[in-house]
Amino acid sequence: MEIGYRHIDTAQAYFNEKEVEQAIKDSGIPREEIFVTSKLWIQDFAYETAKAAGKIKSIGVSNFTPNFWKQFVPNFATMPAVNQVEFNPYFQQKEIRDLLSKDQVIIEAWAPLGQGNKDLFEEPVITELASKYGKDVGQIILRFENQEGIVVLPKSTKKSRAV
C-alpha cells in the first residue's frame, strides 16, 4: 500500500483476512480510500444480512462459468455487480462476457498478465505494438483489457511498476 495500491483482493479461502484488516489499519490511509474485494464460498452466501449490517456495498461472484451463472444467479435476490475470472489476451472469456453484458455485469480480471506467461510477453502483435507506442508489453496488455471494459487486478512485486 505504501507504493500506491488501493485495491486489495482477498478471500476466506486465502486465510489472510485478519492480516489484511491489520495492514489497512496500520497503513494510515483513510479506509474510504481503500477498496477491498473479498470472496466467500457460495454456501456461506448471506448478502442481505451482511448488507443490512453495513459491511458490504455490493456483491460479485468469482469464477462463475456460463453454466454456473445460469444455474445460480437467477436465484439471487440481488444481481452481482461483477464476476471475477481469469482474463488475458489468451483467455478472453467471450461466452461469459456476452452473457454478463445483458445484465450490465462487469468482468474483473485476475491474471490479466497471464501470470507472467512467457509466450504472452513474446506474442509478436503485442511486442510490435509495444515498440510502436514506446510502451512495455504489460502496458499494452493492460490497455487492451481496459479498452475492452475489463476491470484489471495487475500485481507486481516491483516498486518501479506501482504508478
DSSP for 7-49? EEE--GGGT-HHHHHHHHHHH---GGG-EEE----GGG--HHH
What gap in Å lies between CA 152 and CA 130, rounded to an integer? 19
Cell triple for residue 108?
474483473
> In this predicted model, what pLDDT tens digit does every residue of 83-114 receive, in sequence order?
999 999 999 999 999 999 999 999 999 999 99
> In this predicted model, what pLDDT tens digit does every residue of 14-42 receive, in sequence order?
889 889 999 999 999 999 999 888 777 76
Domain ranges of the chain: 58-155
Q: Is 5 a catalytic residue?
A: no
